[in-house]
């Protein structure tokens, strides 16, 4: 009886039994290589650090605006001292007789030149000339004319004029340079020191570095030094003393005489036969007589000749005024007029006062009645150009816009008439 329940239990368990698992395959055998022998890294031998000297700490120089390098300042002082010693030797050789020049020119061309003459260590003469940098027109074959102001001072007159380099000796210039070298340099300034081939002082000045062109300098600045006594100085041509203007009617006899001579020569020229060379001489003589005649006639009328006007200071007649400013400035070209141009403007080319030309009076345009436009044309254009021209079709004067509108309508009417025919 006990075997039956055990049998049912065995059947029940077999129904729920798991399927049989396949047998596991053996894993492949991996060949493991033996580890490689790695050489150990080389042993670095570290040297002991070398002993380094500790740098000496130096306090920075205090900032002083305009102060130059002390070494540079000492070099300038030494150079100036050597130049002064060289000048003492040269002064003994020349006996205190020398001259020097100061030349200055602007970047636009104008400038001036001063020559100072020293004898026995004293300034005895000074000459000055200025120039504009623009050539002065002269006649062919004539020497060039000075285009600026010139003067010469001698003896007690030295230093009378304010222009030019001051009349100082080289000893005075050295004293001025010494004060600059031993003094402070102002902010934004630069010091310059220059000597010539003999070691003599030419320049020692301060200049503002903020100014690019024609910066003013303070100190000594000359161009050249000539040792030895100079007997000749740049002497400008003395100005002729102003001649008194001739009284009205005082030259009547000379005027009549020259007028008769000119008439005789012109009458002779109608009948004579000249060689080319003789004809040139005859014309030159006639031109000289006519120029003298114009000058005398101008004096007789109260007007000076060109030479008298220049010698008198190139003054404008009293009461004469010019519109637009001074007659010496040409507003159209922006340049200065020459004295001859101003003289011709005042007195005319023949010496007589220039006549005043009346300005032409423009007639006032009063348009007459215009014939009406055909009604089928419509109204003329409202916006028109401001020019005036003859209108086609006899419609008077009008703008270019109106002329075009009229011509288009005339052409349109002509085509319509041709089609109607």
Q: What confidence score (pLDDT) does residue 44 get? A: 75
Beta strands (DSSP E) in 95-214 are 98-105, 111-119, 122-131, 150-154, 189-195, 201-208
Q: What confidence score (pLDDT) does residue 295 get? A: 64
Task: Sort strands 389-390 and 397-398 into parallel, antiparallel or unpaired.
Answer: antiparallel
Query: DSSP 3-state assignment of 411?
Result: helix
Chain position carrying tokens 């001036």: 112
pLDDT of 128 strictly over 70 = yes
Sequence-ordered list of residues with C-beta below 8 angstroms from that of 145, at least 6 positions apart, any chain: 136, 138
Question: Confidence band (pLDDT; 50, 70, 90) for 100?
Answer: very high
What average pLDDT does range 250-262 have in this prediction? 75
Q: What confidence score (pLDDT) does residue 406 get? A: 92
SS3 string, 341-379, reads HHHHHHHCCCCCCCCCCCCCCCCCCCCCCCCCCCHHHCC
Domain boundaries, the chain: 70-136+143-227, 252-347, 375-420
pTM of this prediction exceeds 0.75: no
Query: DSSP 3-state assignment of 33?
Result: coil
Q: What confidence score (pLDDT) does residue 267 get? A: 82
Q: What confidence score (pLDDT) does residue 19 get? A: 56
Question: What is the sign, positive or negative, of the torsion defined by CA atoms of 37, 38, 39, 45?
Answer: negative
What is the radius of gyration, based on Cα positions, of the chain? 53
pLDDT of 1 strictly over 80 = no
Which has more pLDDT, 129 or 324?
A: 129
Q: What is the pLDDT of residues 162-207, one digit of tens each?
A: 888 888 998 999 999 889 888 888 888 888 888 998 889 888 888 8
Q: What is the pLDDT of residues 18-29, one digit of tens each?
A: 555 555 566 666
Q: What confidence score (pLDDT) does residue 351 get? A: 47
What average pLDDT does range 41-52 have in this prediction? 74
Q: What confidence score (pLDDT) does residue 234 get? A: 44
Q: What confidence score (pLDDT) does residue 143 get? A: 65
Whole-angstrom distance, CA of residue 151 vs CA of residue 162: 12
Q: What confidence score (pLDDT) does residue 353 get? A: 45
Q: How many Cβ atoms sit within 10 Å of the Cβ of residue 309?
A: 23
């Amino acid at each position: 009886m006990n075997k039956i329940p055990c049998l049912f239990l065995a059947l029940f368990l077999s129904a729920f039994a798991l399927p049989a698992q396949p047998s596991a395959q053996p894993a492949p055998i991996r060949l493991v290589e033996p580890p490689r022998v790695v050489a150990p890294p080389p042993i670095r031998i570290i040297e002991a650090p070398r002993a380094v000297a500790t740098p000496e700490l130096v306090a920075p120089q205090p900032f002083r605006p305009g102060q130059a390098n002390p070494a540079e300042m000492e070099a300038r002082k030494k150079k100036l001292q050597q130049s002064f010693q060289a000048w003492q030797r040269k002064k003994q050789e020349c006996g205190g007789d020398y001259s020097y020049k100061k030349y200055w020119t602007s970047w636009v061309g104008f400038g001036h030149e001063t020559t100072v003459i020293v004898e026995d260590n004293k300034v005895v003469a000074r000459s000055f000339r200025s120039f504009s940098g623009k050539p002065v027109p002269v006649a062919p074959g004539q020497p060039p004319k000075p285009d600026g102001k010139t003067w010469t001072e001698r003896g007690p007159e030295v230093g009378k004029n304010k222009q030019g380099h001051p009349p100082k000796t080289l000893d005075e210039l050295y004293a001025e340079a010494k004060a600059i070298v031993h003094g402070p340099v102002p902010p934004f300034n630069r010091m310059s020191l220059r000597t010539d081939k003999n070691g003599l002082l030419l320049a020692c000045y301060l200049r503002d570095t903020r100014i690019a062109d024609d910066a003013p300098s303070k100190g000594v600045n000359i161009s050249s030094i000539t040792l030895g006594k100079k007997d000749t100085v740049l002497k400008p041509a003395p100005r002729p003393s102003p001649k008194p203007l001739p009284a009205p009617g005082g030259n009547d006899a000379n005027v009549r005489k020259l007028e008769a001579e000119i008439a005789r020569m012109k009458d002779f020229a109608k009948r004579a036969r000249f060689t080319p060379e003789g004809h040139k001489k005859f014309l030159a003589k006639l031109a000289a007589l006519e120029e003298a005649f114009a000058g005398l006639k101008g004096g007789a009328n109260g007007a000076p000749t060109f030479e008298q006007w220049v010698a008198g200071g190139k003054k404008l007649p009293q009461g004469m005024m010019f519109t637009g400013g001074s007659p010496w400035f040409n507003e159209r070209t922006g340049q200065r007029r020459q004295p001859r141009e101003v003289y011709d403007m005042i007195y005319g080319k023949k010496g007589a006062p220039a006549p005043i030309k009346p300005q032409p009076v423009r007639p006032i345009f009063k348009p007459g009645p215009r014939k009406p436009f055909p009604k089928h044309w419509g109204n003329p254009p409202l916006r028109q150009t401001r020019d005036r021209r003859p209108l086609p079709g006899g419609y008077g004067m009008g703008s270019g816009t109106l002329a075009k509108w009229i011509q288009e309508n005339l052409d349109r009417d002509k085509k319509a008439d041709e089609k109607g025919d």
